[in-house]
Amino acid sequence: MTVLGTLVDIPTADGTADAYLAHPDDDRPHPGVLLYQDAFGLRPHLKSMADRIAEAGYTVLVPNLYYRSGRAPLVELPELIDIEQCGEIFAQLGPLLGPARDPQIAARDAGAFLAWFAGSPLVQDGPIGATGYCLGAYLALSTAAAHPDRIAAVGAFHGGHLATDRPDSPHLGAGRVTAELYFGHADQDESMPPEQIARLDEALTAAGVRYRAELYEGAGHGFTQADTTRYDAVGDARHWSALFDLLKRNLPA
């Protein structure tokens, strides 16, 4: 299937968010998928991921969550990001991450993105899916709780800090979630240790949420991101299979 990729602007309460849009080139509406970035932001690798989902028959939006500071890219990245040697990059990303992770700001942004889906002729009527990576997994889960009537499925991969002791931890919104959830946890991930995985499972089970959580053995935080040194090809292939199974069950293309 031929895919078209373009840049779009989305009005928000705080300005205009630039975003990458990928969709089948057939002039027909398709189920929508909101793809949330990791900390490194909107870049060629995330665009290629959006294209792959669009090839399966979906209209995919990847917003620049750092739009308050400018259009993407805001930080110059190498072709291969060495996670162990990127202190300077993280120093630049630090000020951008705060607003993106703020629950109130994230909920406002999600509302704007969902409004764009609702108004686009490229998107079928009805709920959409969301998938997120690292930071994006945190936001995808938060969006499912903040907008339960709009999110039918969430794929969350190597997410961090999903079930902390903080009063705004996303696992505390489990009772509002109506979507089916899938979690692909990296077992070498200090940001999502076993106690948080257990706390997340307990919250979802108690709330009666439909979900599946799997531990990707030997995988580190960021294992799906092929432009970083944490990339794991086996884990990435497994992630694609799980994501497409989830989307097909809830949003058949």
Q: For this structure, is 161 an active site residue?
A: no
For residue 134, indicate whether it is catalytic.
Answer: yes
Q: Which of 23, 109, 134, 236 is catalytic?
A: 134
Q: How far is the C-alpha of 130 from the C-alpha of 145, rounded, in Å?
A: 12
The catalytic position among 30, 221, 232, 239 is 221
Q: Which amino acid is residue 147, in one-letter code?
A: H
| 149 in active site | no
Nearest in space to 180 (alpha carbons), one of 206, 215, 144: 144
Q: Of the residues 23, 30, 171, 189, which is catalytic? A: 189
Burial state string for 141-175 with b = 16 or more CB within 10 A and e = fewer than 16 = bbbbbbbbebbbbbbbbbbbbbbbeeeebbbebbe
Neighbours of 241 (CB within 10 A): 10
Contact 199, 170 (CB under 8 A): no
Strands 15-24 and 3-12, bridge-based pairing: antiparallel
Of 251, 219, 243, nearest to 232 by C-alpha is 219
**Do residues 223 and 216 make contact, with C-beta atoms less than 8 angstroms apart?**
yes
Percent helix, strand and coil across the chain, each rounded to 5?
40, 25, 35
Residues with catalytic roles: 134, 189, 221
